[in-house]
A and B are shown apart, each in its own frame.
Chain A
Amino acid sequence: MIAKKLLITLIGYYFLVLLQASFFPCLFSFYFMPNLVLLSVFLWNFFESKKSLFGIVNAGIGGFYLDIFSNKFFGFYFLISVFLAVIIKFVVKNYVKTPWVKEI
């Protein structure tokens, strides 16, 4: 199950990063381009089961891809997305209740 999730994440984020680096520059201005990977990291961690820690691994993979396709130092996006995932997990665990959402 985890292997399947990991494979989907690896392929999914690669696809999102490619979209962000090649497809969106043609449609959006350089300054108003959505960061799909960070958005996905946020959504995944928000709706994921409170007990699961896969969201943090997921964030790490997303951040790693962003680091590859940006000219910032390696680890910049990795740390940002992992930090984002940890914060969301903490907030969701302690302050948010979403009974209508089926946990992944």
Chain B
Amino acid sequence: MILEKYQKRKKIIAFFLIIVFLGIALLFQEGIKNCFYTISLPFQKFFLKQGTKISNFFSSFGKLKELREKIDSLEKENYSLSLQIANLKELEIENRELKKALDLNLQKEFNLVLAEVSGKDIGTKDTILITAGKRDGVLEDMPVITPEKILVGKVVKSYKNFSEVALLSKKNFSFDVKIKSKEEQNKKDISAIAKGEGNSEISLDLVPLTAPVSKDDIIISDNMGKIFPKGLLVGYIKDIKKSDTAVFQKIKAQHIFDIKKQRTLFVITGYKE
């Protein structure tokens, strides 16, 4: 009887200790997370590096046939590109003069903070961790891009030394985009709303049935909703479905950003005039 009572009391104490522990952890969760991320950074970098190596090793076996087909198609594309180069050379002279005036590069357009990908968030799909935080001036809702001007996503949570970045493909994430024709450069851009579908996929909404959209067309960001700056590369169209009963086309797109290939990112902390 006494032993049973003692056991029961022990269980109650353990239960309350857990509640107190969780409460404290909830109160100081930012500090705890930041501390663990800082300690884990070298290990995470090591694992990311090794993971990429192994992934590349195995993917090279499985993709032999695909690579051969790609070489063929690239050769064909090469011929048409050579032709385009000849035409573009004329434009280059004109462009050079314009560039002198504008000096187009990332640093001139944005205030940037350099960050490295340190891992993936376990709880939420399509969310990554980067090594820049409040200490570097990184705050929530700031856009994240690659050095090649590919839009990655936006900061959803910033800690002292780290930040969580929601990728564009994250479910329920929506933003304005424009569809640029890959073939005809003079074609008018088509506005659309992009929605994250998860697993690096994006769907495009509000594209009328009559809009001339084709596979592999390029998607760039637009700043109508003031979420992202305009003109940043988002992805390309993968699949188009048209139905007579629907008002809009069903378009699926692929987000270009790949965690396996891209390590260095930039957070846009401000815009320059």
* A binding-site residues for B, Cβ under 8 Å: 17-27, 29-31, 35, 60, 64, 66-78, 82
Judged by a CB distance under 8 angstroms, whether B125 is at the interface is yes
Stretch at the interface among B28-36, B206-214, B224-232: B28-36
Judged by a CB distance under 8 angstroms, whether B270 is at the interface is no
- Give every chain B residue within 8 A of A75 (Cβ-Cβ): 22, 25-26
Indicate if the CB atoms of B25 and A31 lie closer than 8 Å: no
- Give every chain A residue within 8 A of B50 (Cβ-Cβ): 23
Indicate if the CB atoms of A72 and B125 lie closer than 8 Å: no
- Give every chain B residue within 8 A of A77 (Cβ-Cβ): 123
Indicate if the CB atoms of B47 and A71 lie closer than 8 Å: no
Indicate if the CB atoms of B119 and A25 lie closer than 8 Å: yes
Given contacts A18-B40, A27-B54, contact A70 B122 (CB under 8 A): yes
- Give every chain A residue within 8 A of B29 (Cβ-Cβ): 73-74
User: What 7 A-B pairs come out closest when comparing CB atoms?
Assistant: A70-B123, A26-B51, A22-B47, A25-B120, A23-B47, A21-B119, A22-B44
Judged by a CB distance under 8 angstroms, whether B223 is at the interface is no
Judged by a CB distance under 8 angstroms, whether B48 is at the interface is yes
Contact partner, A18, options B33, B44, B55, B125, Cβ 8 Å = B44
**Which residue from chain A places its CB closest to the CB of B164 in the assembled complex?**
A71
Indicate if the CB atoms of B33 and A68 lie closer than 8 Å: yes
Indicate if the CB atoms of A23 and B51 lie closer than 8 Å: yes
Indicate if the CB atoms of A21 and B26 lie closer than 8 Å: no
Judged by a CB distance under 8 angstroms, whether B124 is at the interface is yes
Knowing that A66-B123, A71-B127 touch, tell me 6 more A-B residue pairs with CB under 8 angstroms. Answer: A26-B55, A26-B260, A64-B25, A66-B122, A69-B123, A71-B164
Count contacts between A and B, CB distance < 8 Å: 96
Bound: A54/B14 CA distance, A: 13
Judged by a CB distance under 8 angstroms, whether B259 is at the interface is yes
Indicate if the CB atoms of A27 and B43 lie closer than 8 Å: no
Indicate if the CB atoms of B47 and A30 lie closer than 8 Å: no
Bound: A36/B167 CA distance, A: 24
Given contacts A26-B260, A74-B29, contact A60 B125 (CB under 8 A): no
- Selected A-B contacts with CB under 8 Å, 25 pairs: A18-B40, A20-B122, A21-B121, A21-B122, A22-B44, A22-B47, A22-B48, A23-B48, A25-B48, A25-B51, A26-B48, A27-B51, A27-B54, A27-B55, A30-B126, A30-B199, A66-B122, A66-B123, A68-B32, A69-B121, A72-B123, A73-B29, A74-B25, A77-B123, A82-B18
Bound: A86/B141 CA distance, A: 40
Bound: A60/B15 CA distance, A: 12
Bound: A72/B121 CA distance, A: 10
**Which residue from chain B places its CB closest to the CB of A14 in the assembled complex?**
B40
Bound: A78/B24 CA distance, A: 14
Bound: A73/B32 CA distance, A: 13
Contact partner, A30, options B33, B118, B198, Cβ 8 Å = B198
